[in-house]
């Protein structure tokens, strides 16, 4: 319960406890739920302002679990947060490390149809999503240099109609899309695998929302107490 030096709040609280004790938990429940939904709204605003959103999915992951049935005010709670794991990484920061011999996969601007744009502002196109890419297991000619092996892989992919190929170039390994015909194939990187780790900087979006909501809670509490007092006919006592 929030303690306040406010005569109206004190009076509403006193009257509810004295004349309509069963209504008091509804006032506290409405207060914490209103606070949670307000924090949710502010968190979504923070996300829109601070992050590069590629669709509305991230905003939709920010949800509230309101208090619904608990009448014991000491056990009432409402929760606000995100159902997406990566939003925790944004809130607290994280170091993403490679899971195998190749580096952390990072989608390029080309994968989303945004040639040369980094960071990209859209998701990779469906065909360019990592889970949809199939790579050939063919290897370059034995004894060939790395450059020759890469050229052979690209040529073999073009001749067989393979759309994607893994190459280890000077700038590092990656997954490339094979373009053009069989005679003069070209490549464009869709996934960069050159980094051993990626640092996700701390970018708090939830704590600031909660901090902004906290000063509003006394007003929410007063409104809830007043509503229950009016509902139970306690005005004028």
pLDDT in tens, the chain (237 residues): 333 345 566 676 776 777 667 888 999 999 999 999 999 999 999 999 998 887 789 999 999 999 999 888 889 999 999 999 999 999 999 999 988 888 999 999 999 888 877 777 788 899 999 999 988 766 656 667 888 888 888 998 888 889 999 998 888 899 999 998 888 899 999 999 999 999 999 999 999 999 999 999 999 998 998 888 888 877 655
To 10 degrees, the CA torsion angle through 155, 160, 161, 167? -40
Q: What angle do CA 66, 41, 67 make, to 5 degrees?
A: 5
d(CA 58, CA 82): 8
Cα separation, 200 vs 94, in Å, equals 5
Query: Structure pTM?
Result: 0.74
pLDDT of residue 204: 96
At 93 the pLDDT is 95
CA angle 86, 80, 121 (to 5 degrees): 35
């Amino acid at each position: 319960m929030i303690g306040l030096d406010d005569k109206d709040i004190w009076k509403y609280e006193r009257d509810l406890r004295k004349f309509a004790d069963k209504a008091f938990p509804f006032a506290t429940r409405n207060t914490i739920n209103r606070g949670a939904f307000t924090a949710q709204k502010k968190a979504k605003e923070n996300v829109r302002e601070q992050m590069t959103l590629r669709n509305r999915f991230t905003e939709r992951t920010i949800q509230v679990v309101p208090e619904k049935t608990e009448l014991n005010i000491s056990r009432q709670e409402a929760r606000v947060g995100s159902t997406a794991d990566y939003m925790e990484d944004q809130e607290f920061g994280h170091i993403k490390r490679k899971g195998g011999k190749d580096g952390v996969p990072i989608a390029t601007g080309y994968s989303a149809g945004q040639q040369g744009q980094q960071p990209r502002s859209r998701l990779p196109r469906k065909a360019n999503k990592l889970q949809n890419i199939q790579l050939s297991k063919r290897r370059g000619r034995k004894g060939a240099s790395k450059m020759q092996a890469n050229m052979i892989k690209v040529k073999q992919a073009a001749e067989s109609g393979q759309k994607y190929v893994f190459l280890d170039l000077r700038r590092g390994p990656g997954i490339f899309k094979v373009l053009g015909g069989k005679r003069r194939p070209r490549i464009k990187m869709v996934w960069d695998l050159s980094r051993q780790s990626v640092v996700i900087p701390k970018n708090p979006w939830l704590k600031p929302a909660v901090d902004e909501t906290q000063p509003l809670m006394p007003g929410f509490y007063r409104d809830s107490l007043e509503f229950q007092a009016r509902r139970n006919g306690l005005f004028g006592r």
